[in-house]
Structure 1
Amino acid sequence: MELGIDRQKAQQVLEENVKDPITRLHMLESEAIMKAVAKYLYENNKLTEAEKGGKTSSELAEEWGIIGLLHDIDWELTKNNVVEHGLKMPEILRNAGGTDFLIKTIESHIYPNDNEENYMGAPQFVGKKREGNLEHALASAETLTGLIIATALMMPDKKLASVKPESLVKKYKNKSFAAKCNRETIAECEKFGIELEEFLSVGLIALQEISDRIGL
């Protein structure tokens, strides 16, 4: 697994292509959860040796984090026509030195779920399916950020520190709350070896640890 882009370069690419502060925060949050998931899977022996790629837990976590940080790199170019989301990303990342592996992994988070009925993405992604722990993790992690942030904003002090795992579970089950956070996508965590409630907790802790950086 080679990305072709290190963390410093990823930050540069982010700053050049994403100006909206809310989108930047979402990408930072996605990085944090991806790093936490990588560490969890590595340290609980849920990754194959091929997935580890000879890397330490910290090294792998940084790579998964970079993927999370860059996953919406073309959003500002496509947000007014979401059917193009993911189509401008390859050129941006290739110009920055990104590998085909990085591009394919990021593209996968836009693929439809098993239920394609309400899919709004690019037609060329219809019929494609996410494969492997990393692709499922990216889709689940970036979707979970929205549920966690929405829950924090419901707290009296609007702080992540006030969110308890059991509160997050209740919000997850209430599908009218943060309805755009697709529960089916979040539940893909079980495809990469983390039970749902444990995944919600892992994600919550990850964002609580960067609360000062995201202002919550």
Structure 2
Amino acid sequence: MNRDQAWSIVCEFIQSDALRRHSLAVEACVLAYAHKFAAEGHSVDPEIWSVTALLHDFDWEIHPQLPDHPIKGEAILKERGVSDEIRRAILSHADFTGVPRESLLEKTLFACDELAGFLTAISYVKPTRSILDVEVKSVRKKMKDKAFARAVNRDDIVNGAAGLKMDLDVHITFCIEAMQQHASELGLERVAP
């Protein structure tokens, strides 16, 4: 499966612009890591990483209850011919599936998912509503504010960075920069305050 086919599935199943943008934000972060890891000598297929990130929440609107998501979605992807590697990574991004995160792709998807959503939420409360104005210190401050973006699991953000053996601030910075490269596509460009 290539990126265009994955995006077609996303658009078929996801009607919400916000959820589509979340898929794109996770893709931006995961793909940036794919290029980083490839440059470090890891065997990485950026297309597979891109497809995995795009598809990780494709079934959220039709299966909004856990554990239906992503378990029931995985069966749909299997019918569509999506590879075992991609389906396994998608299953592993939810702790309750019992699929352990073993591969670098699996660990990266998990590390980027909640953080991308959190960075988007922080962008929305900036006067400019832009990822271009998000800084690590504001992310760390908002992580302590349990009332802010309540649905985002802070432990997943911390554990995701640890799973990649990365300092949390370095991971946050990396994902901010990845999303900044796609600010327009993510709807996170600066607007006049």
2:173 to 201, 205, 211: 201
User: Residue deviations 1:100-146, cap 9 Å, x none?
Assistant: 2211111111124xxxxxxxxxxxx2x54322322121112111112
Aligned to 1:70: 55
Distance, in Å, in 2 between the alignment partners of 1:63 and 1:132 is 13
Aligned to 1:103: 87
**Gap regions ≥5 residues in structure 1:** 113-124
Aligned sequence identity (%):
29
Tell me the number of residue pairs that the alignment of Structure 1 and Structure 2 aligns. 187
Q: Residues 110 and 171 (structure 1 numbering): CA distance in 2 closer, same or farther, change over 3 Å?
A: same
Q: Residues 171 and 66 (structure 1 numbering): CA distance in 2 closer, same or farther, change over 3 Å?
A: same
**Residue 35 of structure 1 contacts residue 61 of structure 1 at CA under 8 Å; is this kept in 2?**
yes
Tell me which amino acid in the other structure corresponds to 2:168.
L
2:18 to 9, 13, 22: 22
**1:1-216 superposed matches below 5 A:** 5-45=1-41, 47=42, 52=43, 60-79=45-64, 81-112=65-96, 125=97, 127-187=98-158, 188-216=160-188
Tell me which amino acid in the other structure corresponds to 1:141.
C
Q: Residues 128 and 66 (structure 1 numbering): CA distance in 2 closer, same or farther, change over 3 Å?
A: closer
**Gap regions ≥5 residues in structure 2:** 189-193
Q: Residues 176 and 43 (structure 1 numbering): CA distance in 2 closer, same or farther, change over 3 Å?
A: farther
Q: Residues 176 and 204 (structure 1 numbering): CA distance in 2 closer, same or farther, change over 3 Å?
A: same
1:170 positional shift: 2.5
State the 4+ residue runs in structure 1 displaced beyond 4 angstroms. none
Distance, in Å, in 2 between the alignment partners of 1:105 and 1:25 is 20
**Residue 30 of structure 1 contacts residue 145 of structure 1 at CA under 8 Å; is this kept in 2?**
yes
